[in-house]
Amino acid sequence: MLKQITLGETKLVLRSEGSPAPVGFSISSASQNCEGFSAQEFVRDNGHGVLLPWIAKLTAGRGFIDKSVAPAQPVQVRAYSNWSSATGTGAPGSVVSVAGGRCGPLVLKFTPAPNRNYLARLSYPGDQCSLAIMDATDPDAPTPVDAEALNCPVP
């Protein structure tokens, strides 16, 4: 995914790590902050290394989205997730506990350079979530990119 650079192309890979909750990503190249986002596309971390293997297989989904972006033009990346889970049998007279949460929207704006690969990664360190943009042209040594955090409304 990150090891393939086509000359003249700038790629942005959108990925979630650390939770099997679906994450909606959208991008915008609009000049106005928080405007012009594409329709959300969803990815989900398959949970390998976090979940039991059989659960990871059941929750498997699209692990990443690969997009071409225009170099030297600012790009806004928005990530948003909400989830719920239930415990209990749901049998008559039993108690079902429902818990949920939300992450985002988190929005970062950066300007990609030509012929580079970037990774926008929503991760769940501890009880929080965070969005980071990395230059992943060298996938074995991704480096953080200077990105501006935007305060955008919930989609």
The helices-and-strands tally (H runs, E runs) of the chain is 1, 10
- Tell me the residue type at 91: A
Please give the pLDDT value at position 98.
55
Residue 64, pLDDT score: 82
Q: How many CA atoms lie within 13 Å of 84's alpha carbon, on the beta-carbon side?
A: 5
The Cβ of residue 87 has, within 10 Å, a number of other Cβ atoms equal to 10
DSSP E strands, the chain: 10-17, 23-28, 41-43, 64-69, 75-87, 97-110, 117-123, 130-135, 143-144, 148-150
pTM of the model: 0.79
pLDDT at 1: 47
| Residue carrying the six token digits 């108690």 | 95
pLDDT at 25: 94
pLDDT in tens, the chain (155 residues): 455 556 567 999 999 887 777 889 999 999 999 999 998 888 877 654 554 454 545 545 567 888 999 999 999 999 998 776 656 665 566 555 556 678 889 999 999 999 899 999 998 877 788 999 999 998 889 999 999 999 998 77
